[in-house]
Amino acid sequence: MRYQLPYAMLASVAALIFALVALPTVTMAQSVNDIISRGKLIVAIDTTTPPYGFLDEKLEPTGFDIDVAKKMGEALGVPVEFVTVTSPGRIPSLMTGQVDAVISIFSITPQRAIQVDYSNPYAGQSAVVIAPTGTQIASHEDLVGKKVGVTRGTAEDGILTAASEKLPGIEMLRFDDYSSLLQAMVSGQIDAMGGGDYGEIYLKKAQGGDAFEQKYPLKTYYFGIGVAKDNHNLRQWINTWLLGMKSDGSLEDLSMQYRGQPLPALPVF
Amino acid sequence: MQNLQFGPVFAHSDAFIDGVISTLVLAALSIFFGTMIGLLGAIGRSYGPRILSAPIGAYVEIIRNTPLLIQLYFVFFTLPLVGIKLSSNWAAIVALSIHLGAYAIEIIRAGIDSIPQGQIEAAKSLGLRPYRIVRHVIVVPALKAVYPSLTAQFILQIMGTSIVGAIAAEELTAIANNLVMQTFRSFEIYIVIAMIYFVIVQSASLLFAGIGRLLFQWKA
């Protein structure tokens, strides 16, 4: 009994030393050559964001983002190791060097770009107004006199609520989650809804969901591949690789496969 | 401890007032309709023929054994498929009334069962007509006996209105949730609405006690 305490102390001191020695080595930005000589590409993903990242029947990660990561590994000639992160964990995973890249619906914003660097957009998603095929809706004005559903607190809620304040007669119905919103649309309790541009693929699975279409976009978000700040070497390679993915139609194919529709026009910067 | 800032919350006090009004209207209408269902249902279940009492029993069992949230979803999302489309607020009132009705039937029926058979026989032997027997000898004493349980159920009903935001009805809690998303002052907003609910429910308790004294002045 008496010797257990020193051993435990010794172990924790050893762990501390190991952590101090090990940490600085992993925080170094990995160049393309480092990744190839290490023999694997480490990518942060999120498996709770269908259709971009989710788990398939065998509980293997799959989705648009996961396939992009796999294709990146193929291009580099190395296998991909996935690290699952939550949405707030994306930036820290790059800053601590746990991963080489983040491919996880990582919207490009100026605030985030202070801490990490982004590739050119490889995908984009719009918040759109969705309504039955027969109705004529092309702008906020056409929503006057209609019931418009949104999920409480989303970007669509903000944009459409602002519109309803300028245009009295737009009746806003706010639901607690996306499934209630879709159900309200399918059961005809609302005339139009604000949602993601992939919303149709879920509507089409619901009963009578074929009769809906996207009417007009509210706002478009662009997803970039995140790399550690100032890792220009890797970022430049990713941008070059993305050019090929766009020009040979690979990205477009992935979008049709997972999102059921083409990508929006992707700007470069 | 987080720094509490109530300024952004009170800037939206008109929204809270709207919410309180909606909550009170939802509660008052559903308590009224629910009690009517309860009264008629209890009489029907106790004295009606089997063809009447059996469906009432089934209704009571179905409602009391399913969650209120599912009943709300059913009225709002499923009834439109058979052509009955109610707005969020009306769907909430219908679902809440149906919900309270089932509980009220059971509570009032317990009161009716507590009336001694001899009291009814005495009324009959005095030559009272059936309507007067039901009203004065059965229902009023039954209601008096179960009035505390009934008002406890009414209080639960007032608090039950807080979940109807799930079908986009705008009441106090739903409006508070909207404000949380706008101001991100969740702590302050939930503290404020908790206090508002406390005041509403306390006032309602006093009101029900006062009504009880007025209605049941005499000694049975």
pLDDT by residue, tens only, chain B of 220 residues: 457 778 878 888 899 999 999 999 999 999 999 999 999 999 999 888 999 999 999 999 999 999 999 999 999 999 988 889 999 999 999 999 999 999 999 999 999 999 999 999 999 999 999 889 988 899 899 999 999 999 999 999 999 999 999 999 989 999 998 888 777 777 888 899 999 999 999 999 999 999 998 888 765 4
Q: Superfamily for A27-125+222-259?
A: Periplasmic binding protein-like II (3.40.190.10)
Nearest CA in chain B to A176: B166
| Signed CA dihedral, B89, B92, B98, B102: sign only | negative
A and B: number of Cβ contacts within 8 A: 47
* Closest Cβ opposite residue B77 in set A152, A153, A187: A187
Q: CB burial class (10 A; 0-12, 13-18, 19+) of residue A80?
A: buried
* Half-sphere exposure of residue B196: CA atoms within 13 angstroms, side-chain side: 24
- What mean pLDDT, rounded, does chain A reach? 86
Distance from CA of B167 to the nearest CA of A (A): 6
- Residue B185 has a CB neighbour count (10 Å cut-off) of 19
CA distances from B60 to A2, B102, B139 (A): 68, 5, 19
Whether residues B181 and A180 touch (CB distance < 8 A) is answered with: no
Locate the domains of chain A by residue range: 27-125+222-259, 126-220
Q: A90-112 pLDDT, tens per residue?
A: 888 999 999 999 999 999 988 88
- Cα-based angle B202, B206, B208 (whole degrees, multiple of 5): 115
Chain B residues inside the 8 Å CB shell of A188: 80, 85
Nearest to A84 by CA among A64, A109, A54: A54
Q: A135-169 pLDDT, tens per residue?
A: 899 999 999 999 999 988 778 888 999 999 999 99
Kindly state whether B89 is in contact with chain A, defined as any CB-CB distance less than 8 angstroms: no
Percent of chain A with pLDDT over 90: 54
In a domain, B37, yes or no: yes
Q: Which of residues 67-86 of B touch A (CB under 8 A)?
A: 73, 76-78, 80-81, 85
DSSP B95: H
pLDDT in the model for residue B215: 84
Collapsed DSSP state (helix, strand, coil) of residue A104? coil
Chain B residues inside the 8 Å CB shell of A148: none
In a domain, B169, yes or no: yes
**Residue A2 pLDDT more than 80?**
no
> Residue holding tokens 């990490």?
A116
Distance from CA of A158 to the nearest CA of B (A): 8
What's the CA gap between B63 and B70, in Å, rounded? 10
Kindly state whether B203 is in contact with chain A, defined as any CB-CB distance less than 8 angstroms: no
CA A159 to chain CA mean position, Å: 20
Chain A residues inside the 8 Å CB shell of B181: 152-153, 157
**Residue A25 pLDDT more than 60?**
no
Which range of residues forms the domain containing residue B99? Answer: 7-215
Whether residues B177 and A180 touch (CB distance < 8 A) is answered with: no
User: How many structural domains are present in chain B?
Assistant: 1
Averaged pLDDT for residues A51-79: 93
When pLDDT is cut at 50, 70 and 90, the band that residue A24 belongs to is very low
Q: What is the topology classification, in CATH, of domain A126-220?
A: D-Maltodextrin-Binding Protein; domain 2 (3.40.190)
When pLDDT is cut at 50, 70 and 90, the band that residue A177 belongs to is confident
In a domain, B1, yes or no: no
CATH code of residue B38: 1.10.3720.10
Which stretches within B1-127 are classed as H helix?
7-10, 13-47, 50-64, 68-73, 88-113, 117-125
pLDDT in the model for residue B12: 86
CA B116 to chain CA mean position, Å: 28
Whether residues B178 and A183 touch (CB distance < 8 A) is answered with: no
The two most distant CA atoms of chain B are separated, in Å, by 73
In a domain, B34, yes or no: yes
In a domain, B220, yes or no: no
What's the CA gap between A230 and A87, in Å, rounded? 22
**Residue A10 pLDDT more than 70?**
no
What's the CA gap between B109 and B53, in Å, rounded? 12
Q: Do domains A27-125+222-259 and A126-220 have the same CATH topology?
A: yes
What's the CA gap between B172 and B159, in Å, rounded? 11
